[in-house]
Structure 1
Amino acid sequence: MQDDDFSQFAREMRGVKRITVDQADTGKPKADRKQLKELRQNATVRTENIRVDGLSDQFVIDVGPEDELYWARDGVQEGQIRKLKAGQIAFEGSLDLHGMKIETARETLWDFIAEATKFEIRCVRVTHGKAARIDGRSPMVKSHVNTWLRQHPQVLGFTSCLPRHGGTGAIYVMLRRTMLEGRDE
């Protein structure tokens, strides 16, 4: 009986070629629709907010609560900085960074300067406060603002404000103008 089964099998296999490849071809894999939908959504929705603003915290210049701040980029006329310090250049915008976390203050300051530059504003006031940190060291936001503004390409100089505008808790910042088309200054 077994010979009969074997001969029947052999008859059925007549004309069939032996497979020489030992791996099966399952065809093109089917797409996982749920996974594809998720990948498409993630491509259009930004999940992380990565900013590159050029302001470094690598080395922060420590300043005291009552320290007066003063800095001018090379090439800026001393007379302009004197006018700035005397409050003779009117500030057209003001930003208050009181109580902000360092990263929030940094982003807010960067956006504020970008906006002021866009509108060709010459001078702004930034209130950083002067409260000392709990550990008794220098004021954190004030020290960071002092460091960041020196790195910002649009900042020509800054100086502590007059007492009526915040004294050593705020600074006047002189910005570079991009000179919009058709403007003759």
Structure 2
Amino acid sequence: MKSSSDDNDDLLFFQEMADVQKIADLNQVVYLKNRPKVPRTIAAEHAAPENILTTGLLEIIECAQPLEYKQPGVQQGVLDKLRQGKYPLQASLNLIHKPVESCRQEVFAFFLQAQAHNLRTLLIIHGRGRHDESHANIVRSYLAKWLKQLDEVQAFSVAIAKDGGAGACYVALKKSAEAKQENWERHAKHSR
């Protein structure tokens, strides 16, 4: 049975709802206005660069062979210091248990971010496989291939034990044009 307070509540509710109208069916199509077209030259400047890293033919690196590379013209001392972990790490990327295509995308994005922030020394953790055909060693072999495809990579080397050992590698990047200019200005002031 309804009490008089329930009747009053119902009456108040219906009074409040008197001017409410039913919402139209939600099965309608909504057309949004087209965005204004941006001139192609401006759009090209802001577009992300195309990923140049390839996944084609792969030469698998044996698990026992340490990762190591330096571009022609890079001093052996740079590679030696890199191998010994003497450069301070500025960023790291973990690729463990990720699919190869995901690794390819992440390495390229990581490289672009490092360039944008003028970073010089990176750590990439790829994992360590027990045999040459293991997933970790496939990713490691691709990583060696990809790093050689990036012109800004001066050198890379297996990491020391505290940073991941054979399951990780250090990457040394070239100085950006801004960093070179800043370095030149700093040393030019001292030589006067």
Q: What TM-score comes out, normalization by structure 2 length?
A: 0.65
**Post-superposition offset of 1:169:** 0.6
**Post-superposition offset of 1:133:** 7.2
Query: How large is the RMSD of aligned CA atoms in angstroms?
Result: 3.0
Please name the residue that 2:86 is paired with. Answer: 88
Number of equivalenced pairs? 145
Please name the residue that 2:178 is paired with. Answer: 180
Counterparts of 1:136 and 1:154 in 2: how far apart (Å)? 29
Q: In the alignment, residue 183 of structure 1 is paired with which amino acid?
A: E
**Post-superposition offset of 1:184:** 2.4
| Cα deviation digits, residues 84-125 of structure 1 (max 9, x gap) | 111111111111100111111111111111111111111100
Which has the larger Rg?
1
Mark the CA change 1:136 to 1:119 in structure 2 (over 3 Å): closer, same or farther.
closer
Mark the CA change 1:135 to 1:142 in structure 2 (over 3 Å): closer, same or farther.
closer
Give the share of equivalent positions with the same residue, in percent.
23
Q: Superposition pairs for residues 130-149 of structure 1, below 5 Å?
A: 130-132=128-130, 139-149=137-147
Please name the residue that 1:156 is paired with. Answer: 154
Q: In the alignment, residue 122 of structure 1 is paired with which amino acid?
A: R
- Structure 1 outlier segments of 4+, above 4 Å: 132-138
Query: What is the aligned counterpart of 1:53 among 51, 54, 79?
Result: 51
Determine helix, strand or coil for the equivalent of 1:180.
helix
**Post-superposition offset of 1:51:** 7.2
Counterparts of 2:123 and 2:159 in 1: how far apart (Å)? 8
Counterparts of 2:110 and 2:157 in 1: how far apart (Å)? 18
Mark the CA change 1:137 to 1:106 in structure 2 (over 3 Å): closer, same or farther.
closer
**Post-superposition offset of 1:136:** 5.5
Query: When you count helix as a share of all residues, which structure comes out higher?
Result: 2
Counterparts of 2:49 and 2:178 in 1: how far apart (Å)? 26
Q: In the alignment, does 2:74 pair up with 1:76?
A: yes
**Post-superposition offset of 1:132:** 4.8
Q: In the alignment, residue 78 of structure 2 is paired with which amino acid?
A: Q
Task: Provide structure 2 residue ranges, at least 5 long, that are not aligned to the other structure.
Answer: 1-28, 39-47, 185-192
Q: What TM-score comes out, normalization by structure 1 length?
A: 0.68
Q: In the alignment, residue 163 of structure 1 is paired with which amino acid?
A: A
